[in-house]
Structure 1
Amino acid sequence: MNQTQTTQKIQITTADPSALGLFGLAMVTLVASSQKLGLTDGVSFVLPWAIFLGGFAQLFAAIQDAKHNNTFGTTAFGAFALFWFGVGTSWLINLGVFGESAAANVDTKQLGVAFIGYLIFSVYMTIGAMETHKVLFIIFVLIDFLFIGLALSSLGVAPEATHMLAAISEFGIAIMSFYGSAASVLNVHFGKPVIPVGKPFGIFK
């Protein structure tokens, strides 16, 4: 007796989460850069944006990108979501939320080492961004400079100059991420490229 097996694939269509992920990145870097640039003081009111926009918004985008089988987007948004959760927790420790003992044992050089790790990650993601579009590539280049500035300032290397490098880079990330988010929303909404993002470099593909 012959049996015929039929395999059916069900495809679930979900919206591209890039617009939300980039908006989350834009908001958190805008608020955080205002503190680094000296326009605002302290990190207490940076924390909500780090947790909800930097963390949860990008984590949601990562999960949705996974449904699109987008390894690059999943990894990028997921890694940066966890970065902001980590940074937010570090600020909470420094503020004494987890007790005076934890705050007293803070060593900012450990943050510097973490920033070096994220710089390594950002560099190879920058190579991947070259084959996505030029706006994303520019965002990643600015992220590279952000982590260079953060790492060096945390390690005490020319702290004023490298802190300012981080501040300017972070503000640039905010502006470019707002642009990228707007393009992701409006180009899909209108069904045509009303906001140009630039073609991939075409070096590796």
Structure 2
Amino acid sequence: MDKEEVKMVKIKNSDPSAIGLFGLAMVTLVASSQKLGITSGLSFIIPWAMFLGGIAQLYASIEDAKRENTFGATAFGAYGFFWLAIGTSWMISMGVFGEVLAESVDPKQLGFAFLGYLIFTVFMTIGAMETHKLLFSIFFVINFLFIGLALDSFGIGGDFPHKLAAYSEIIISLLSFYGAGAAVLNEHFGKEFLPVGKPFGIFK
């Protein structure tokens, strides 16, 4: 009797970090313009929150999951869902889903959501220490973004939390643009074209 020959085929997917970081860079760039007072309103921020902040990062999460990258899949997935949720929250406050929902909005509920994401970001920041220094820097600044957003939603600290969130977003955007460029060009050229810094080597 012939024995059946079983072959294991592993499909190698490309690194989705570039599209995920680009999505983060774009949405924080557009959102920061409103917080800094350069632009006004939320109408034209919502599409970027949904498609770049949300869907692009969710796509990166799914692709990272296929690569068995738990850290990347968790990070892109969690922040992708965040931007979908925040975009929906903006639409609720603007009355897109009716006056009843808009009139019952309580900003402090968002404050608790931001607090939860701050907790999440803290342990993701620790994990990022063993990826590379650029990614660690992005997570490090995201902590300050959520601190600012949470305090602002709770009405604590006057105008300072709003400014903290605004400047944190623009820094996150610039770092993420660099990260997206590094993810593409380093792989494209097969060498470290844009340095991202070695892991800290503390926990591994």
Is TM-score (shorter-chain normalized) higher than 0.5? yes
TM bucket (normalised to shorter chain) is over 0.9
Q: Aligned residue for 1:55?
A: 54
Q: CA deviation at 1:13?
A: 1.3
Deviation string, structure 1 residues 172-194 (Cα, Å, up to 9, x no partner): 00000000000000000000001
SS at match of 1:119: helix
Matched, 1:25 2:24: yes
- Alpha-carbon offset, residue 14 of structure 1: 1.1
Cα distance in 2 for residues equivalent to 1:83 and 1:149: 16
Shift of 1:8: 2.3
Within 2, Cα distance between the matches of 1:8 and 1:94? 55
In the alignment, the residues of structure 2 paired with residue 75 and residue 11 of structure 1 have an alpha-carbon distance, to the nearest angstrom, of 22
Does residue 202 of the first structure (1) align with residue 194 of the second (2)?
A: no
1:156 paired residue number: 155
Secondary structure of the residue aligned to 1:159 is coil
The letter for the 2-side match of 1:150 is: L
Unaligned runs of 5+ in 2: none
1:113 maps to which residue?
A: 112
Counterpart for residue 125 of structure 1: 124
Query: How many residues of Structure 1 are paired with residues of Structure 2 in the alignment?
Result: 204
Give the gaps of 5 or more residues in structure 1: none
Distance, in Å, in 2 between the alignment partners of 1:5 and 1:148 is 59
Query: What letter matches 1:153 in structure 2?
Result: D
Q: Deviations over 1:97-120 (max 9, x none)?
A: 010010000000000000000000
Deviation at 1:7, TM superposition (A): 3.9
Give the TM-score, by structure 1 length. 0.97
Counterparts of residues 6-17 of structure 1 (less than 5 Å): 6-17=5-16
- Cα distance per residue 1:116-147 (max 9 Å; x no partner): 00000000000000000000000000100000
Cα distance, 1:4 vs structure 2: 5.0
Match of 2:166 in 1: 167
Provide the rounded CA distance (Å) in 1 between the counterparts of 2:159 and 2:29. Answer: 20
Range moving further from structure 2, 169-178 or 155-164: 155-164
User: 2: distance between equivalents of 1:125 and 1:141?
Assistant: 9
Counterpart amino acid of residue 167 in structure 2: I
| TM-score, normalised with respect to structure 2 | 0.98
- Equivalent-residue separation in structure 1 for 2:183 and 2:169 (angstroms): 21
Cross-structure match for 2:79: 80
Which letter does structure 1 place at the counterpart of 2:56?
A
